[in-house]
Structure 1
């Protein structure tokens, strides 16, 4: 069966992904910074001590994996600290950049050097529509510099990785999985937008993402997509046109 690695799998989207892949009888590895959750399937193989914001995350991961190759790698680890122009936060910004856009480079580097990424492998970088400069409309204002800019940086990382890995037959996608009802969005006060913004549960977002990954291949490497389409992208209509005229999945502008 195919082998899947989900980096950042202890909650939210990552946890839903490992559960659904395990239920589909894939060989599933999930990473945890400390302890693995107790409820998921015993078929999930957990690798502990992987903190994407730390320099050794990639080497720890490559050493711990006991497989010949990985069919799919999904990097979904993230951190969201809110900011404003009146109150930027240097420490939180550093953590957001390290987690979102620096750590993935080193993880992919070590997996590649260990020979775990082979022709046909897929790397999925979980970004956000907030990383699109084009979609950033004046109606949403400024602020949250570290979160949005680190996602924009991740989008560039994905594009560059796709160029480096294409000759090896490894495809890279950058995705906005959807606006989700998670502890992360609740923790920054975004739960007040859940209903109006069409937020979905992580299980729904995971299901859409898995379908997208199944259909994704090297012909679309380096592209930026919203598997769930424009429904939860608040500025889609203002920037791209009527939502009922936009396709699902939706390729997003940089």
Structure 2
């Protein structure tokens, strides 16, 4: 049986690793998006076997229309993964209006319109899965004085995404579409390096995007309506600095996260 997977934000980091992983699976058709007007030229950065959808910017108001205009109308997606993200570093002394707008739009506004258009076009239906890549930083419960404040736009936009995912799960349950929110792990990516978090990689147990993709894909395989609207860390508490402080010891893997 052939399955079709859509990955938004597929040119780097977790999205690129997911693209390569799913494209390597037998009988799997992968649709992958890029913000560029042309597919990636280097197969080392993303899988050359994917079906590339170009000029797809999650933060653009017409992202849904552009997406369905490039997907074959006969496509029935088994899974849609929204992995696109943006992290603009901020402190209390130096908040940034434009960065915050971009983070909220990318994390919590774009996904609503993407899922809306995919469902209305009949590309997502009974048995389909929608996976929204969130972060443990979106958990208000896990926020602890140990890690301090700052980074308002990033953390709060992930909390907003969690609410978006919960609401989508309520709207789509009767259609048989499961919606999941995931913390894919603390990763060694250009995004975390760009905000200076590479200094925490070793001590924080950061993994490669390939390692994160493997654990996430395994989690998605067993994900269904029984877990719809829930918030999970497929890799468990190992890279969540406040997990034991807030939730206690001997935590399971995967770990359901608190809002």
Task: Decide: shared fold, TM above 0.5.
Answer: yes
Q: In the TM superposition, what is the alpha-carbon distance from 1:36 to its structure 2 partner? A: 2.9
Alignment of 1:36 with 2:78, yes or no, is: no
Report if aligned partners of 2:16, 2:47 keep a CA contact under 8 Å in 1.
no
Q: Corresponding residue for 1:116?
A: 123
Q: Corresponding residue for 1:147?
A: 154
Superposition CA RMSD, Å = 0.7
Q: In the TM superposition, what is the alpha-carbon distance from 1:69 to its structure 2 partner? A: 1.1
Alignment of 1:84-99 (within 5 A): 84-99=91-106
Q: In the TM superposition, what is the alpha-carbon distance from 1:183 to its structure 2 partner? A: 0.3
CA distance in structure 1 between the aligned counterparts of 2:29 and 2:9, rounded to whole angstroms = 17
Question: 1:51-105: per-residue Cα shift (whole Å, max 9, x none)?
Answer: 0000011110011101431000000100000111110000000000000000000
Question: 1:140-171: per-residue Cα shift (whole Å, max 9, x none)?
Answer: 11000000000000000000000000000000
Alignment of 1:252 with 2:253, yes or no, is: no
Match of 1:177 among 164, 184, 199: 184
3-state SS of paired residue (1:140) = coil
Q: In the TM superposition, what is the alpha-carbon distance from 1:41 to its structure 2 partner? A: 3.5
Alignment of 1:87-236 (within 5 A): 87-236=94-243
CA distance in structure 2 between the aligned counterparts of 1:52 and 1:101, rounded to whole angstroms = 10
Q: In the TM superposition, what is the alpha-carbon distance from 1:248 to its structure 2 partner? A: 0.3
CA distance in structure 1 between the aligned counterparts of 2:181 and 2:137, rounded to whole angstroms = 13
Match of 2:59 among 53, 60, 74: 53
CA distance in structure 2 between the aligned counterparts of 1:237 and 1:63, rounded to whole angstroms = 46
CA distance in structure 1 between the aligned counterparts of 2:49 and 2:239, rounded to whole angstroms = 33
Q: In the TM superposition, what is the alpha-carbon distance from 1:42 to its structure 2 partner? A: 3.2
Q: Corresponding residue for 1:19?
A: 20
CA distance in structure 2 between the aligned counterparts of 1:96 and 1:166, rounded to whole angstroms = 27
CA distance in structure 2 between the aligned counterparts of 1:151 and 1:84, rounded to whole angstroms = 17
Flag structure 1 segments of 5+ consecutive residues without an equivalent. none
Alignment of 1:3 with 2:4, yes or no, is: yes
Q: Corresponding residue for 2:244?
A: 237
CA distance in structure 1 between the aligned counterparts of 2:6 and 2:199, rounded to whole angstroms = 33
Q: In the TM superposition, what is the alpha-carbon distance from 1:176 to its structure 2 partner? A: 0.1
3-state SS of paired residue (1:6) = strand
CA distance in structure 2 between the aligned counterparts of 1:41 and 1:190, rounded to whole angstroms = 27
